[in-house]
Structure 1
Amino acid sequence: MKNIRSREKDKFGLWVLTWPIFIEMFLQFLLGAVDTLMVSRISDDAVAVVGFSNQLFNALTTLFATVASGAGIVIAQKLGSRREEDARTVAVISVKVTALIGLGLSLMLVAVPGPIARMLQLPEELMPLAIPYISIVGGGMILTALMSALSTAIRNTGNTKGPMYIAVAMNIIHIVMNYGFIFGELGFPQLGLTGVAISTVTSRLLATVMLFLIFLVAFERRIGIRDISLFDRKLFKEVLVIGWPLGVNSGSWVFSQLVIYSFIATLGSMELAARTYMSTLETFCFLLGFSLALAVQIQIAHLYGAGRTKEAYKAVYRSLSAGLPLVIINTWLLVLFGKHILGLFTQDEGILLICGALLWLNLALQPAKVLNMTLGNALNAVGDTRYTMYVSLTVMWVVATGCSYLLGISLGWGIVAIYGCMIADEYIRSIFCYVRWRNRKFLRMKEAELQAA
């Protein structure tokens, strides 16, 4: 037993889990930054289209995140309680269900990209760029769904390195193809934003294939063709009990961001481009904190499944003690050097002026994000997903979305007021999550369950 626990500590240690996730996320950040930099060589309008489209895609991913995220937590819990076969079954089910959802989304985005963009208030002058981009990248939503399910399942077995290596390869392929399509180099035709869309789908296809190969051997018993028909209603219900509040929670955030993007779009393409540039830079600030939050969710779910509740309780504070200082330092670096970095993306004085104000607001925004992500993920890891869902539904839509419209649009205070509402939303939700975690409700329930057994 001591040797088993030692191996688990090596596999599910916080930093062992964190550093591959961080490298993977950092590479995704670099991909986004390089993507934005390359697209900015086409035009600021093209950048606005990419930023707007990504919000749409992120909103739609919540439809399969319900299954993928719930399955990830259940997998870690089952492995913690030594139920390997149950974990394997959950993983197979999650991949099949998310693939079906992703296929439906792909067909929808290929069929009606224009009406969707108009419904979300995208400025009419951006439509010629947006429609082909949304239809091509959106047509690959099935790949996004599979990547989500496969990487989540693999990570929650304790293997965070596999997805990291694939992220390296995907980034390299995507950047090389972007360069070729945008500038007409390396034998590629010059296709502009359409070429960027083709590059995105191609790199995701290759990444999906590689993730699938790792997934087949992720558990002690190899996954084979016969497992296509594998289904367990009880286990799937367990996934949905944890997963549907997660999906609603994630959907609440993404759809609220999409609505806020539509508010910003009514302010003009300059504000929309500024928000897109800032989204790229902001990712740098909370990258390590976000990686720690994902890692601590895996660790706490595993500890909770094993009945090690005291260790699970303390894990969240260890993550915050490491993550918060790093995020604060990164945010200050962004304030000091952000304008110089933005100069690489655009020379538009109006956009740079807007971004200059938003850089300072990030000093308040980013620490709140880390608090909220870490505490929320900890609650999710022990199955307290309904609470985080209720908090998200209430606070996001009243504070972040409702107040953004009231202050930013109705009263005309603009994008700075919208950012202020986003900051208030993050702090209020993090306070609710902190109080809940201190209460230890689900941890005490687990302890009572173990004593009864």
Structure 2
Amino acid sequence: MNYKQIFGITIPIFVDSAFIVLISILNTAMISSSGVAAVSAVSVVDSLNMFIISVFIAIATGGTVIVAQYKGNRDLKQASSAATQAISSVTVIAIVISLLAIIFHSPILNVLFGSADVDVLANAKIFFIGSCISYPFIGIYQAIVGVLRGVGETKASLALSLILNLSYFILNIILITLLDMGVLGLVISLIVARVLGAIVSLIYLIRFNETLRIKLGSMLKVHISILKKIMFIGLPFAAEQLFFNGGKLLTQTFIVQFGTLAITVNAISNSLSMLFQIGGTALSVAVVTVVGQCMGRKEITDARKFIKSFLGLSSIFFVFITIIILLLFPMLVNIYTPPASIVPDIYRLILLLSVAQPLVWSLSFILPSALRAAGDSKYTSITSLLTMWLFRVILGYVLGVTLQYGLMGVWIAMVAEWAVRGFIFTWRFKGDKWYKHKLI
């Protein structure tokens, strides 16, 4: 694999990440026009949605890794079988979780966010039920995009992402901005866009994809040996994501205690933080395909070289984007039309990210993606779980609640967790155990 091929894989993912972030920011800005109760409700439910959707993404990532390694080994028949198993397993899991979440939506929200204001909780219930309905469709979409990235077809995954996210954005303009439907409009847009994304993805994979050559009937067959390989990567990652996002969800309950304005500060700051992470997020996705295919060809030296290149490039992206965001901060924050009293709080959180992310984010997120692509899933999962709960959750509670540093204390704990986790993954990468696993 050479750098020209890597750029061919990475650039569409970068464009995809940038587009998703832009749409997310504009969607948050649109719902902000419906008031702080609406944006706060969407923010708290989004943390719960990420907790659930991370399971689908984790299993889909298992499919990406196995498909990439078979592609690197030039065994397209097994790559096709791995793709069908990934898609069918994610779909079944998504349907089960969707039904359970709809049935128990009220006690779930009351336990997690019962201390929120009444109007925030009412909007949260509407958004959560709508999100639950969309889970099977976003699961199908994520699984298909994952296997396409595994074989290096990132242009196709970009096109599918554009269809899903652009339709979501356009529907939000119509239903939220023009018809002033608030959270209900957001829910309708979300469901319609994800149904469209799932349908178009299936049509492309079955009728137009020439690499995997998948038939609809093959998704109904079970291949135990391949499914085990996918779950070897997917299940530890799913457990990691559940506990990792569970920790983030728990910190959200801390933030709810700080009041509706603090929830709004957190929501806007999180939305802006996505701008910082455009380059890093794209590289953390692309490195799975690159390292997976290198491991399939047993090219350990290449894998090391490309991982180092990705880490260096990510740090450059962070410095470049940080300078732009700090210069444009007044204009960017005005997109959300926040109360003037919370703008200084948002700026302080953005300054914290400006210092921390160029130093530690890449080591904390790109490195574990690379190690996981080589089959080192248990180590990365255990490390992420321990650092999340010891630092982001426990330290976050101590700083934010006990010592009363509030939202800033919670964010400082998050940065501390990135630093510790990045150090541990760097130490692992310098050794040789991470590439000793045999998946195919």
TM-score relative to the length of structure 2: 0.94
- Equivalent residues in 2 for 1:217-296, closer than 5 Å: 217-218=208-209, 220=211, 222-296=213-287
**Which residue is equivalent to 1:406?**
398
* Residues 128 and 445 of structure 1: CA distance in aligned 2, closer, same or farther (over 3 Å): closer
Count of paired positions: 436
Residues 187-229 of structure 1: CA deviation (Å, up to 9, x unaligned): xxx4221011101111111111111122224454622233133
1:258 positional shift: 0.9
1:298 positional shift: 0.8
Structure 1 regions of 5+ residues with no counterpart? 1-7
**Which residue is equivalent to 1:132?**
126
- The amino acid that maps onto 2:136 is I
1:417 positional shift: 1.1
2:5 to 13, 16, 19: 13
Q: Using the alignment, how far apart are the partners of 2:297 and 2:227 within structure 1? A: 21
- Between stretches 153-162 and 437-446, larger displacement belongs to 437-446
**Which residue is equivalent to 1:209?**
199
CA contact (8 A) 1:157 1:218 kept: no
1:160 positional shift: 0.4
* Residues 219 and 348 of structure 1: CA distance in aligned 2, closer, same or farther (over 3 Å): same
- The amino acid that maps onto 1:116 is I
**Which residue is equivalent to 1:4?**
none
**Which residue is equivalent to 2:154?**
160
- The amino acid that maps onto 2:198 is T
1:315 to 306, 311, 318: 306
**Which residue is equivalent to 2:188?**
198
Q: Using the alignment, how far apart are the partners of 1:207 and 1:226 within structure 2? A: 20
1:358 aligns with 2:349: yes
1:14 positional shift: 2.1
- The amino acid that maps onto 1:213 is I
- The amino acid that maps onto 2:59 is V
2:172 to 178, 182, 185: 178
**Which residue is equivalent to 1:376?**
368
Residues 310-348 of structure 1: CA deviation (Å, up to 9, x unaligned): 101111111112110111221232233223311221241
1:76 positional shift: 0.3
| SS of equivalent to 2:430 | helix
- The amino acid that maps onto 1:157 is V
- Between stretches 74-83 and 242-251, larger displacement belongs to 242-251
CA contact (8 A) 1:380 1:388 kept: yes
Residues 28-56 of structure 1: CA deviation (Å, up to 9, x unaligned): 11111110111011112111111111111
1:74 to 53, 58, 66: 66
Q: Using the alignment, how far apart are the partners of 2:164 and 2:133 within structure 1? A: 18
1:118 positional shift: 1.4
CA contact (8 A) 1:339 1:352 kept: no
- The amino acid that maps onto 1:373 is F
1:416 positional shift: 0.8
1:66 positional shift: 3.5
Q: Using the alignment, how far apart are the partners of 2:211 and 2:322 within structure 1? A: 42
CA contact (8 A) 1:137 1:198 kept: no
Q: Using the alignment, how far apart are the partners of 1:444 and 1:421 within structure 2? A: 33
Q: Using the alignment, how far apart are the partners of 1:445 and 1:45 within structure 2? A: 49
CA contact (8 A) 1:88 1:219 kept: no
- The amino acid that maps onto 2:194 is R
1:65 positional shift: 3.1
CA contact (8 A) 1:136 1:198 kept: yes
- Equivalent residues in 2 for 1:54-73, closer than 5 Å: 54-73=46-65
Q: Using the alignment, how far apart are the partners of 1:140 and 1:222 within structure 2? A: 27
CA contact (8 A) 1:89 1:231 kept: no
Identity of aligned residues (%): 21
* Residues 305 and 415 of structure 1: CA distance in aligned 2, closer, same or farther (over 3 Å): same
| SS of equivalent to 1:355 | helix
**Which residue is equivalent to 2:386?**
394
1:83 aligns with 2:101: no
- The amino acid that maps onto 2:410 is I
CA contact (8 A) 1:84 1:219 kept: no
- Between stretches 203-212 and 64-73, larger displacement belongs to 64-73
* Residues 404 and 442 of structure 1: CA distance in aligned 2, closer, same or farther (over 3 Å): closer
**Which residue is equivalent to 1:5?**
none
Structure 2 regions of 5+ residues with no counterpart? none
Residues 42-87 of structure 1: CA deviation (Å, up to 9, x unaligned): 1121111111111111101233334211111011011111221111
1:386 positional shift: 0.8
CA contact (8 A) 2:38 2:182 kept: no
| SS of equivalent to 1:378 | helix
Residues 224-250 of structure 1: CA deviation (Å, up to 9, x unaligned): 233133221111111111221111222
TM-score relative to the length of structure 1: 0.92
| SS of equivalent to 1:82 | coil
CA contact (8 A) 1:259 1:401 kept: yes
1:169 aligns with 2:163: yes
| SS of equivalent to 1:13 | helix
CA contact (8 A) 1:24 1:168 kept: yes
- The amino acid that maps onto 2:366 is T
Two-structure CA RMSD over aligned residues (Å)? 1.9
Q: Using the alignment, how far apart are the partners of 1:360 and 1:139 within structure 2? A: 38
Q: Using the alignment, how far apart are the partners of 1:73 and 1:219 within structure 2? A: 20
